[in-house]
A and B are shown apart, each in its own frame.
Chain A
Amino acid sequence: MRTKDFAYWLFLAPVLIALTLVVVVPMLLGVYYSFTSWNGITTGEFVGFQNYIDLLKDERFLDSLWFTTKFSVVSVILINFIGLSLALIVTSRIKSSNLLRTTFFMPNLIGGLILGFIWQFIFIKVFASVGEMVGMESLQVWLSTTETGFWGLVILMSWQMAGYIMVIYIAYLQGLPKELLEASEIDGASSFQRFRYIVFPLVAPAFTVSMFLTLSNTFKLYDQNLSLTGGGPYNSTEMVAMEIFNTAFVQNTFAYAQAKAIIFFVIVAIVALFQVYWNKRREVEM
């Protein structure tokens, strides 16, 4: 098949049409709209960089960006730590290995919206009643303060995604050469040394994949945010994705929301590219 063949374009046509209409055209239109005062009904006029200047002074937007960053950093570290620990547990020779894999992975099959609702019940009703039983007042106010909302989101995401990351680490751990591990054991390496000098460097590629997945999932989080805290109290747990949604569909300032969405895209793209580059370089060095 050659690119000038009719068949080549016929095979590509459905996907090209769909991607163009669903992603490419809206993206280009979005860039254009972000320089106008469009509100969804009238086209609006060209306003240059006004929307971008405004959003730099928009505290609600900047707060959501900062909240999202904090949430992502804490979640990425926790999810990877728990995920790797779970992977090490289930790949050791234990009887319940298969059952445990199934269990830890299960939350990933259920949508973030529904998981958020389930955890809302846990935090609000179960935590409160346990708090009452043991006399800990701090357990009775979960999700009603910014702090508990933050940790609520972190707990929910760690519980959900650790099993997913575990599956990725398992795939790399099982690819480790057994002879190498046995040889080091015979040479008298402790299990910590084995982990630090053999397992860890060889599993490095898994970090690239896992960090990329966790970072992009946590930074773009919407469903769990909506169903667990709804952004409250007083928008203090509102993340960027939700802030953009509210700017567009609650406040009906489409062009302004679109400018925020473009900034959001630029951040996501830079972080993703930087991370892949950095991890690839580290892998080679190790």
Chain B
Amino acid sequence: MRKKKNWKLEILGVLLGILWLLPFYLMFVNSFKTKKEIFTDVTSPPEQWSFDNYITAFQELDFLQTLFNSLLITVSSVVLIIISSAMAAYALSRAKSRISTILFFMFVAAMLIPFQSVMIPLVTVFGQFEMLNRGGLIFMYIGFGASLSIFLYHGALNNIPKSLDEAARIDGANRWQVFWHIIFPMLKPITVTVAILNIIWIWNDYLLPSLVINKTGSETIPLKMFFFFGEYTKQWHLALAGLTLAILPVIIFYFFAQRSIIKGVSDGAIK
């Protein structure tokens, strides 16, 4: 009896899986068609697998430059978030006092503030200091990313006994060394979680870069994709080739790191 039930569930699961992939399939097959072919038939594979649309989209998106911008901004922001949040969480977890409690509460409370509530003053203030550029954007990501990252690191640090720090201190290490050589390596699992959550968010973020980056050549993938789509709004064959190109890096990343990604997201949500 058990076997039969699982067999039904298996079919249901696979059907749902196909349904889930259908939008990607349709995007993919139509991205190879001509404008006319999409007009007459959207569901079947293309008559000819032509890369013409891709060549146009690749050039129009300035793909290599755009990809580089996204990589530069995501990697720098995530590395700096990890370093600064881990250090802050370490200080808060090791010095238990009213000040630490208040600061920790402040970090957690900041998570409740929607981006729209600070967006207008943020852009004006940073504009006055000529900080509306890639550097300013990375700095903003540290501010917005710190809360959740500190929260996650804080939880993990509370499980590492203080006696470990003290033993290392007696052996002559200073606080900097204790943290970077002993404590930080022990935080590796949570560092992976922090990194993955921040990578997914920053890589895909559209609104903040759209407000901060206003120089041609500095755009990230979502930002460039928005302009590209606006330009080719009635030319689905080009738009779809652009969309496929835009998600390609993510699919490659997912293919190699799916286990850590799903684990990271799950750990991050539960803790």
- CB within 8 Å of B: which residues of A? 1-3, 5, 7-9, 11-12, 14-16, 18-19, 21-27, 29-30, 33, 40, 86, 89-90, 92-97, 99-114, 117-119, 121-122, 125-126, 129-130, 159, 163-164, 167-168, 170-172, 209, 213, 220, 222-223, 226-227, 240-241, 244-245, 248, 254, 257-258, 261-262, 264-265, 268-269, 272-273
User: Once the chains bind, are A30 and B226 in contact (CB under 8 Å)?
Assistant: no
Give chain A nearest CB distance to B1 CB in angstroms.
Answer: 11
Q: Chain A contacts of B179 at CB under 8 A?
A: 11
Q: Chain A contacts of B13 at CB under 8 A?
A: 89-90, 94, 96-97, 100
Q: Chain B contacts of A170 at CB under 8 A?
A: 266
Contact of B270 among A25, A93, A168, A223 (CB under 8 A): A168
User: Once the chains bind, are B118 and A26 in contact (CB under 8 Å)?
Assistant: yes
Q: Chain B contacts of A27 at CB under 8 A?
A: 113, 117-118, 121
Residue B64 interfacial (CB < 8 Å): no
Interface stretch of the complex, out of B49-57, B80-88, B187-195: B80-88
- 10 further contact pairs, Cβ within 8 A, besides A2-B97, A15-B88, A106-B24: A8-B95, A14-B142, A26-B119, A100-B17, A102-B258, A114-B243, A114-B246, A117-B229, A118-B23, A172-B270
Contact of B10 among A94, A129, A248, A273 (CB under 8 A): A94
Give chain A nearest CB distance to B70 CB in angstroms.
Answer: 11
User: Once the chains bind, are B269 and A25 in contact (CB under 8 Å)?
Assistant: no
Residue B170 interfacial (CB < 8 Å): no
Q: Chain A contacts of B43 at CB under 8 A?
A: 126, 129-130
Residue B90 interfacial (CB < 8 Å): yes
User: Once the chains bind, are B206 and A223 in contact (CB under 8 Å)?
Assistant: yes
List, sorted by A's number, 10 A–B pairs whose CB atoms are closer than 8 Å.
A3-B100, A11-B88, A15-B84, A30-B118, A89-B9, A96-B14, A125-B30, A172-B270, A241-B116, A269-B113
A163-B204 Cα distance, complex, nearest whole Å: 17
Q: Chain A contacts of B17 at CB under 8 A?
A: 96, 99-100, 103-104
Q: Chain B contacts of A99 at CB under 8 A?
A: 17
Give chain A nearest CB distance to B61 CB in angstroms.
Answer: 12
Give chain B nearest CB distance to A63 CB in angstroms.
Answer: 17
User: Once the chains bind, are B200 and A118 in contact (CB under 8 Å)?
Assistant: no
Decide if the interface of chain B is mainly helix, strand, loop or mixed.
helix
User: Once the chains bind, are B116 and A245 in contact (CB under 8 Å)?
Assistant: yes
Residue B132 interfacial (CB < 8 Å): no
Q: Chain B contacts of A92 at CB under 8 A?
A: 6, 9
User: Once the chains bind, are B42 and A19 in contact (CB under 8 Å)?
Assistant: no
Q: Chain B contacts of A25 at CB under 8 A?
A: 121, 125
CB-nearest residue of chain B relative to A222?
B207
User: Once the chains bind, are B207 and A223 in contact (CB under 8 Å)?
Assistant: yes
Given contacts A26-B122, A129-B41, contact A19 B143 (CB under 8 A): yes
Flag B252-263 by CB within 8 Å of A: 1 or 0 each: 011000100110
Contact of A261 among B20, B112, B119, B229 (CB under 8 A): B119
Flag B90-101 by CB within 8 Å of A: 1 or 0 each: 111011010110
Give chain A nearest CB distance to B102 CB in angstroms.
Answer: 10
User: Once the chains bind, are B10 and A95 in contact (CB under 8 Å)?
Assistant: yes
Give chain B nearest CB distance to A226 CB in angstroms.
Answer: 8
Q: Chain A contacts of B270 at CB under 8 A?
A: 168, 171-172, 209
Q: Chain B contacts of A24 at CB under 8 A?
A: 110
Q: Chain A contacts of B95 at CB under 8 A?
A: 1-3, 5, 8
Q: In chain B between 168 and 211, which residues have their CB closer than 8 angstroms to a CB of chain A?
A: 175-176, 179, 200, 203-207
Give chain B nearest CB distance to A265 CB in angstroms.
Answer: 4
